[in-house]
Amino acid sequence: MQRFLIKDTAKHVGEKVRVCGWVNTYRAHGKILFIDLRDISGVIQVVFVPSNKEAYELAQTLRTEWVVEIIGTIVKRPENMINAKIETGSVELSVESLKVLSQSETLPLSIEGDGYEINEEVRMKYRYLDLRRERLKNNMLMRHKVIKFFRDFLDAEGFAEIETPMLTKSTPEGSRDFIVPSRLQAGKFYALPQSPQQYKQLIMASGLEKYFQVARCFRDEDSRGDRQFEHTQLDMEMSFVEREDILELVERMFIKLVETLYPNKKIQEIPFPRIPYAEAMEKYNSDKPDLRKDKNDPNLLAFCWIIDFPFFEKTEEGGWTFVHNPFSAQRPEFVQDVLDKKNLGDIVANQYDIVLNGMELASGGIRSHDPKILEKVFEIMGYKKEEIWEKFGHMLTAFTYGTPPHGGIAPGIDRILSILQNEPNIREVIAFPKTGDGRDFMMNAPSEVSKKQLEELHIKIDSAKTKLDHKKPAKTSKK
């Protein structure tokens, strides 16, 4: 017999149905037993009466969170028993047969309510139970819809989703890399991508003009605020574009996202205000200003663009480093300054951020596709020629074979979701988040590996030192 989703049962009054799910609540009213049965789609009231002896007796053994299959008839509830709050509130299921598919121990945490008050380590350890919570289930399903929206939107705009490697080489995004030892190339390491930046630019060199990817990025940052070691970004790159093309597309995408999936929210100002970096710092003392007129309105979305970032900033050692992304181009009027390596502090990058309610959603830029200029940028940052070629030779070479002007952006999906779902942090919109210091209490990661694995990887652990290192205070990284 075909399984019905609970939400669909109300349309089938008088019919026999088979439903499966979890015992949400269990109660007895005199001789009658009621359970609320829950599946992905909703909850229905199920009624067991003593005259159906077999099912009734089995029902007496049920406990919450047991998984059951029930066959029965959908009947209309008496008028005074109707619950207008739920989709199936006008009906109930009169049981013919009950089968227990799986039993459950008492849960180690309550899955009723929003659960914010529950110790987060416990929620993480039993994340698969925490995800049974209505709020988190909804966050996951909305995340799916938002990602699907982005995919469909970009597909309709002629973009292709292209996967790039996870095992790769370090790319500078201003953080530390996670590195992976190579077994076959003794003593060598891959880096997990801090972003697909170089690959997406090489995709532009390949002529696949519009790329996107729902990309996982890894950054080994010290616990700082609302960060995770891995995050997901909507990574995009386009050829033959100028800044205006990218801002226009992304703005249109966000407006349509809100209209389609969050119609109750209102965008404070369209077109999104554009604020030069210098002005933002002067006026708001921040490059992520929260422009909401009413900060208590949970449905208000104040987007803005921050443009014209400085290209370089001084390092603590007195040299120069990039502010955002070494692959960005300068605004056209600063080409000569880059080539002459002068007025470095005044050079403006063709780099932009999109900010929403005081949070940086995305960074992007028009890139340097001229190998001479890119090489100069690395020289300015203090790299020696051999080093530049060792690290970025593939980019410089690619750009000598006819690479179109290009640019892109990479909105952070976790951040967007946390704001749209009115969540206080990104962990609430990630299925299996880690703690601020990168621990996964459920899988118990990171963990030690066997001696054999270490030997195969040609790695020796300095146990005296690792114990010490655990106690050292964390150093801060750039981003």
Residues near ligand ASP, by CB under 6 A: 173, 195, 197, 325, 363-365, 408-410
Q: How far apart are CA 9 and CA 15, in angstroms?
A: 9
Closer CB to ligand ASP, 301 or 409, in the complex:
409
Beta carbons of 410 and 233 less than 8 angstroms apart:
yes
Closer CB to ligand ASP, 197 or 239, in the complex:
197
- Contacts of residue 104, defined as CB under 8 A and 6 or more positions apart, other chains included, come to 22, 63, 64, 65, 66, 67
Both structure tokens of 117: 């008050």
Closer CB to ligand ASP, 39 or 353, in the complex:
353
Closer CB to ligand ASP, 23 or 307, in the complex:
307
Q: How far is the CB of 195 from ligand ASP (least distance, A)?
A: 3
Q: How far is the CB of 303 from ligand ASP (least distance, A)?
A: 17
Closer CB to ligand ASP, 173 or 414, in the complex:
173
The DSSP result for 243-290, as a single string, is HHHHHHHHHHHHHHHHHHH-TT-EES-SSPPEEEHHHHHHHHSSSS--
Closer CB to ligand ASP, 164 or 197, in the complex:
197
Residue nearest ligand ASP by beta-carbon distance: 195
Closer CB to ligand ASP, 126 or 399, in the complex:
399
Beta carbons of 287 and 280 less than 8 angstroms apart:
yes
Q: How far is the CB of 213 from ligand ASP (least distance, A)?
A: 11
Q: How far is the CB of 351 from ligand ASP (least distance, A)?
A: 8
Cis before 332? omega within 30: no
Question: Residue 6 corresponds to which amino acid?
Answer: I
Half-sphere exposure of 377 (CA within 13 A, CB side): 29
Q: How far apart are CA 25 and CA 33, in angstroms?
A: 11
Closer CB to ligand ASP, 197 or 232, in the complex:
197
The DSSP result for 385-453, as a single string, is HHHHHHHHHHHHHHGGGT---EEEE--BHHHHHHHHTT-SSGGGGSSS---TT--BTTTTBS----HHH
Q: How far is the CB of 158 from ligand ASP (least distance, A)?
A: 18
Q: In a 10 Å sphere around its CB, with 0-12 CB exposed, 13-18 middle and 19+ buried, how is residue 204 labelled?
A: buried
Q: How far is the CB of 174 from ligand ASP (least distance, A)?
A: 9
Q: How far is the CB of 156 from ligand ASP (least distance, A)?
A: 21
Q: How far is the CB of 442 from ligand ASP (least distance, A)?
A: 27
Both structure tokens of 194: 């801090």
Both structure tokens of 221: 């940052």
Give backbone dihedrals phi and psi of 381, rounded to 5 degrees, phi first: -80, 5
Q: How far is the CB of 228 from ligand ASP (least distance, A)?
A: 14
Q: How far is the CB of 194 from ligand ASP (least distance, A)?
A: 7
Q: 3-state class of 454 per DSSP?
A: helix
